[in-house]
Structure 1
Amino acid sequence: MTIKPLIILPDPVLRLQSKPIETVDQAVRTFADDMLETMYDAPGIGLAAIQVGEPLRMLVIDVSKEEEEKAPRVFLNPEILSTSDARSTYEEGCLSIPDYYAEVERPAEVTVRYLGLDGQMHEETADGILATCLQHEIDHLNGVLFIDHISKLKRDMVVKKFTKQARRVSA
């Protein structure tokens, strides 16, 4: 397994639309393992393929608590089928926007359909942190970042800060 370098804001790659995965083969399974390794190393609870520079509709999630056994999940071509009217707010962060967190309100429950590594179609209804994480990572597949769900003023400040940092690094 390989730890992949993370794409960091303001890299325009983060705004790309990801393409569907056509077949579930060994290359896809190996890439899923690499993504999980990268996510755990970061450390994070979710990672979309675009965050490691691959515009593929794949994401990995593990919302288990530290003291629990790891529970890695892989979602290929995930799509949200429905959302609840009820809302919930969580403090979100992102491996592509390190050390920045903000309260984001999203639907409290979602039903998603996805392809598993077994090549089968699955449907699942999630709530709590899993629902939030699924929405956050599926947003990534559509070129949307969690900062797009906060006020324009806060978003502009974050983008400006990361753009300035990127210029310093490349200088």
Structure 2
Amino acid sequence: MGEEEAVASPAELQFEGRLKIVQYPDPRLRAKNKRVNTFDESLKKLVDEMFDVMCRTDGIGLSAPQVGINVQLMVFNSDGEHGELEEIVLVNPRINGYSRKIVSYKEGCLSFPGIYADVERPDSLNVDAQDITGARFEVNLTGLPAGVFQHEYDHLQGILFFDRISDEVLETIRAKLQDLEKKYEERTRKPSPEKIDARMSRNKPVGFGKS
């Protein structure tokens, strides 16, 4: 398993005001996400606010780092569809196993507004996680819900969806990524923490989000 995971303090689950979506290339999207060991009112408040953000932005999954809080937490619509919401909270999720069948979906991301690209992922997987009370549970996901989960799980590993696409597909969205980098520099008056032009042809992450 490697080195022991850092644990988030109760204060790291707290926030003021309304949460906002963090956009690429904000460094919080690449930061280490700490394990949650505190299951209290602060966590419930954070989860409620994340569901609110997800619904306001027509999302079907949202990870904590996407709202600037670097902990291992995601909220998720297990139906994988807009409209009727089947809310599921996954704290400290882990992938137990996944199918050999690989499917391709055109993925978008709230942290990459207006950008979509084809990403290949396993069609089904088994997930172990904790709920909002800290109780452990397992869930099997297939099809679109499996893809949504893997996208959000990647966020908890500091992996962004364009890390998993081919160089050919990357070329179709390179200009839009550059535009987000420029907007970040204009907004923060700081150099972009990463540049898509620095990505040479390289291997994609291995294991579909497994650490």
Instruction: Give the TM-score normalised by the residue count of structure 2.
Output: 0.75
Q: 1:46 to 1:93 in 2, by over 3 A?
A: same
Deviation at 1:157, TM superposition (A): 4.0
Give the corresponding residue for 1:11.
26
Give the corresponding residue for 2:183.
165
Gapped runs of 5+ residues in structure 2? 1-16, 190-211
Gapped runs of 5+ residues in structure 1? none
For the residue of structure 2 that corresponds to 1:32, the secondary structure is helix
For the residue of structure 1 that corresponds to 2:158, the secondary structure is coil
Match of 2:165 among 150, 153, 156: 150
How big is each residue's C-alpha offset from its partner over 1:143-164, in whole Å with a ceiling of 9 and x where there is no partner?
Answer: 0011111124436544322111
For the residue of structure 1 that corresponds to 2:46, the secondary structure is helix
Q: Which has the higher strand share?
A: 1
How big is each residue's C-alpha offset from its partner over 1:122-154, in whole Å with a ceiling of 9 and x where there is no partner?
Answer: 011110111001110010001001111112443
**Mapped contact 2:93–2:130 kept (Cα < 8 A):** yes
**Mapped contact 1:3–1:37 kept (Cα < 8 A):** no
For the residue of structure 1 that corresponds to 2:47, the secondary structure is helix
Deviates more, 1:39-48 or 1:56-65: 56-65
Give the corresponding residue for 1:42.
57
**Mapped contact 2:107–2:116 kept (Cα < 8 A):** yes
Instruction: Give the TM-score normalised by the residue count of structure 1.
Output: 0.91
Name the structure, 1 or 2, with higher relative contact order (CA <8 Å, separation 6+): 1
Q: Percent identity?
A: 34
TM-align CA RMSD: 1.7
Aligned residues: 169
CA distance in 1, matches of 2:68, 2:101: 34
**Mapped contact 1:82–1:112 kept (Cα < 8 A):** yes
CA distance in 1, matches of 2:150, 2:97: 11
Deviation at 1:170, TM superposition (A): 4.3
For the residue of structure 2 that corresponds to 1:21, the secondary structure is coil
Higher-Rg member (1/2): 2
How big is each residue's C-alpha offset from its partner over 1:49-103, in whole Å with a ceiling of 9 and x where there is no partner?
Answer: 0011111000011154344x22111100001111110011111100101110011
